[in-house]
Chain A
Amino acid sequence: MIDVLIVGGGGAGLRAAIAVAETDPSLRVAVVSKVYPMRSHTVSAEGGAAAVIGAGDTLDEHCYDTISGGDWLCDQDAVEAFVSEAPKELIQLEHWGCPWSRESDGRVAVRPFGGMKKMRTWYAADKTGFHLLHTLFQTTLKYQDIIRYDEWYVTKLVVDDGRVHGVVAVEIRTGRVETIPARTVVLATGGCGKVFPFTTNAAIKTGDGMALAYREGAPLKDMEFVQYHPTGLPFTGILITEAARAEGGWLINKDGYRYLQDYDLGSPTPTPKLRSMELGPRDRLSQAFVHEQEKGRTVDTPYGPVVYLDLRHLGESKIDARIPFVRELCRSYQNLDPATDLIPVRPVAHYMMGGVHTDIDGATPIAGLFAAGETACVSINGANRLGSNSLPEILVFGRRAGIAAAAFARSHAGQAEASAVRAQGADERRRLERVRGGGGHGERIADLRERMQHTLEGAAGIYRAGDVLTKAVDTLADLGERAQEARVDDSSTAFNTELISLQELHAMLEIARTVVACALNRQESRGAHQRTDFTARDDETYLAHSLVHRAPDGSPSVGLLPVTITRWPPGERVYGRD
């Protein structure tokens, strides 16, 4: 019997595992991950991690930046807890060996970042997520008692009588389906960027954890808030970090004009100015791109319209010192050198602000079920996440969820109702074996996936409209049914990736339907959710989270939940104006 079973081996999952191991070494903790933990998508984070450290900065300022950046949809008690614990977490990572970039006197260095009024973003060159994940993974190797299920894919949560009792998972290597009983489960599977066709997210980001919880009755929250990052490489969607702009990069249109000055983001200065121009928040920058496109001031490429990110004036040595990965990516994947060439970029789906509804300790409404990281919505990100808040988020809330789960496991030591658990496990095994045993003969998984992705991009992209969303509701429901009959070529048990792809498609379709349903329900524009038919923010009705449950017929049912306001009453988001 596992005490704390963590699904997902990225930053949040590993931080939770260490928290449990350190809190109570007598507890049995396991990490179940569909990839080896060091392959997790945390590895791709580039720019940095925000935490107040320097003199001249205060916790309140970080709170205000986060809350105004999130267009007042953040729960302010959660933001306060997050901001006050973030510095400790980053120092903890330092004590575990993370190679943070340094000042010449040996202190940790910080850089500016979008939407932040002070320099508070810690960084490890521009591979912050990579170093953070490998530091965490290598540190977990020290804890001999943490059990790892590498390359196991969880297909179902076992929930009985409102309480979680474990998971059903496939060992990908052998195809064996096993029920793993556990007193608590922590979901830390990351985001769901793959519901969109053009995304920075890795192939594994299919919203598994969100779908697992949602299917068992836990509500998802704020699913309409999808962050588009303004600077992705065309075709691949590879992210060019915000740090490139923090170090002084400019966004220019086809005329070489720094167009952000036309969108209430301040006026251009030669060196970067905090909370201004290129250091504005991501939602506003991505929206500005759409307007440039409408004005015909973008450049057409085979992979859609682009603007340019200009780093040439930074010079080779600064680029190599501060953002070497940007140069490496441009050279290897775009065949250009940012020291001498302009980088073509366009907005790209990047981050899900929404997720499994949790309280400040990561607890969901299902007893014993916790969630942390991008999978969860606490919420500290509100309607738009600020760059460099997500890495400290996975640490702060990964740890909190781990500690809360450990406490729950200790106080609920009893055995589960074995027969109910066994029955659910057996049903799930039969379902998976049926799929593998020749399964359906309908459409290809890839065709259905592409249909879903295009439907979502058309309906729930940077700008949304009610009539398009309404159509998308039906299209996605239809795709959901067709996916039940999807064609499966692979009937073998060993490393059957097609079986996993199909489960991922089912998960993504569940998520996609909640995104559209929430977007349709929210008749206002706020942060990353912009309605062309309701262009103003409406605090009267919608200063509230969307809470979406799965109805018995599988359709999403959306309600509202008030936002927690402590000290920062809703106001105007001001960027570039002092």
Chain B
Amino acid sequence: MTDTTEAVRRASTRTIRVEVSRYRPGEDAEPVFQEYEVPLMADWAVLDGLNYIKDRLDGSLSFRWSCRMGVCGSCGMNVNGEPRLTCGTFLSEYGEGPVRIEPLKGFPVIRDLVVDIDDFLAKLSSVRPWLIREGEEPPLTAEYAQTPEQLEAYKQYSMCINCLLCYSACPVYVLDPDFLGPAAIALAQRYNLDSRDMGDRFDVLNLEDSVWGCTFVGECTSACPKHVDPAEAIQRYKLTAALRSVLPWSRR
């Protein structure tokens, strides 16, 4: 993006107070808030405010970010109590402020606003999020046919950017870290509902800590910035799993 020094210099003196959760292992026993005054620029996202702090006020502040266009999934944080992508949340949304920025809830904090997401990656692997086929792989001369309708059947669940806002919004996950969680189940469904997939993920989904752990609070869906609707994915699999328990020959 355009650098900001010049713009800030020209801007009015309006500022907004940003309260940032700081946690430095070895120094802090638990997170503490540190306050910064940040120029209130009309076009600035919360992430721009954080970068201003890091570049101009305090180089020791740590947070993750990358694409700044809402697709890499790095910059999820808790902004005034809600899980948000900070690149797509504008400072001006918070009027006079202050804005309180904390790490995503539900995850161990590594440093400042950086959380440990290895648990999610292990869960993602566990649902076998890849196309499962039987038999010989055909030669690379033709694609598997898939109509636009068949694509539409799973497309929505393939839009997950793994930002983990849904885990942070989910009270079940926050209370029980063993819960498989919204994104992992949505991605399992992304493959279950793909007409090209021949796999079966019943063994990992039909579990107390998997779909049956969900109490359908629905907050994952409200938090999702990409309209994946993981709550729907989970409830649909509950129905699938229930039908399979009653009718053993029914699949998916």
Interface residues of A (CB under 8 A from B): 35-36, 38-41, 43-44, 87-88, 91-92, 94-97, 99-108, 127, 130-131, 134, 138-139, 141-142, 150, 173, 197-199, 202-204, 234-239, 302-304, 325, 328-329, 332-333, 444-446, 450, 453-454, 487-492, 494-498
Contacts and interface: CB of A to CB of B under 8 A. Distances in A.
Contacts of B2: 197-198, 234-235, 237, 303-304
Contacts of A150: 118, 121
Given A99-B155, A198-B1, A39 B27 contact: no
A497 B66 CA distance: 13
28 contacts: A38-B162, A39-B67, A41-B66, A43-B67, A91-B140, A94-B143, A95-B131, A95-B133, A97-B194, A99-B158, A100-B143, A101-B148, A105-B147, A127-B71, A127-B159, A138-B124, A141-B124, A141-B130, A197-B2, A202-B67, A203-B66, A304-B2, A333-B70, A445-B59, A453-B3, A490-B60, A495-B62, A498-B54
B202 to A, nearest CB: 19
Given A44-B67, A97-B196, A131-B158, A102 B140 contact: no
B137 interface: yes
B252 interface: no
B117 interface: yes
B56 A95 contact: no
Contacts of A142: 128, 130
B65 interface: yes
A494 B73 contact: no
Interface string B49-92: 00000111011101111111111111000000000000010000
Interface residues of B, number: 69
A254 B117 CA distance: 48
Contacts of A495: 62, 110-112, 114
B238 interface: no
A14 B23 CA distance: 33
Interface string B111-144: 1101001100100110011110100011011111
B71 A43 contact: yes
Nearest to B197: A97
A97 B131 contact: yes
A107 B59 CA distance: 52
Interface of B: 1-3, 5, 7, 24-27, 43, 54-56, 58-60, 62-74, 88, 110-112, 114, 117-118, 121, 124-125, 128-131, 133, 137-138, 140-148, 150-151, 154-155, 158-162, 187, 191, 194, 196-197
B111 A106 contact: no
A53 to B, nearest CB: 9
Given A38-B162, A444-B55, A141 B129 contact: yes
A528 to B, nearest CB: 21
Given A39-B72, A329-B69, A498-B59, A492 B27 contact: yes
Nearest to A94: B143
Given A39-B66, A303-B2, A332-B88, A202 B143 contact: no
Contacts of B5: 450
A238 B161 CA distance: 18
Nearest to A321: B148
Given A131-B158, A237-B1, A446-B55, A38 B73 contact: yes
A7 to B, nearest CB: 17
A99 B151 contact: yes
A91 to B, nearest CB: 5
Chain B CB within 10 Å, residue with most, of A35, A103, A108, A202: A202
Contacts of A106: 145-147, 150
B206 to A, nearest CB: 21
B138 to A, nearest CB: 8
Contacts of A104: 147-148
Contacts, number: 184
Given A91-B140, A446-B56, A491-B60, 19 more contacts: A35-B72, A41-B72, A99-B154, A103-B148, A105-B145, A108-B143, A127-B71, A134-B160, A138-B129, A142-B130, A150-B118, A202-B66, A202-B67, A236-B1, A236-B68, A237-B2, A453-B3, A489-B60, A492-B27
A203 B117 contact: no
B154 A35 contact: no
A268 to B, nearest CB: 30
Contacts of B141: 91
A453 B7 CA distance: 16
Contacts of A332: 70, 88
Nearest to A232: B1
B140 A88 contact: yes
A412 to B, nearest CB: 30
B88 A95 contact: no
A44 B69 contact: yes
Contacts of B161: 38, 43, 130
B24 A494 contact: yes
Contacts of A496: 62
| Top 4 closest pairs, chain A to chain B, by CB | A106-B145, A446-B55, A489-B59, A97-B131
B73 to A, nearest CB: 6
A197 B2 CA distance: 6
Given A197-B2, A237-B2, A492 B148 contact: no
Nearest to B60: A490
A325 B226 CA distance: 10
Contacts of B148: 101-104
Contact of A238 (B68, B159, B191): B68
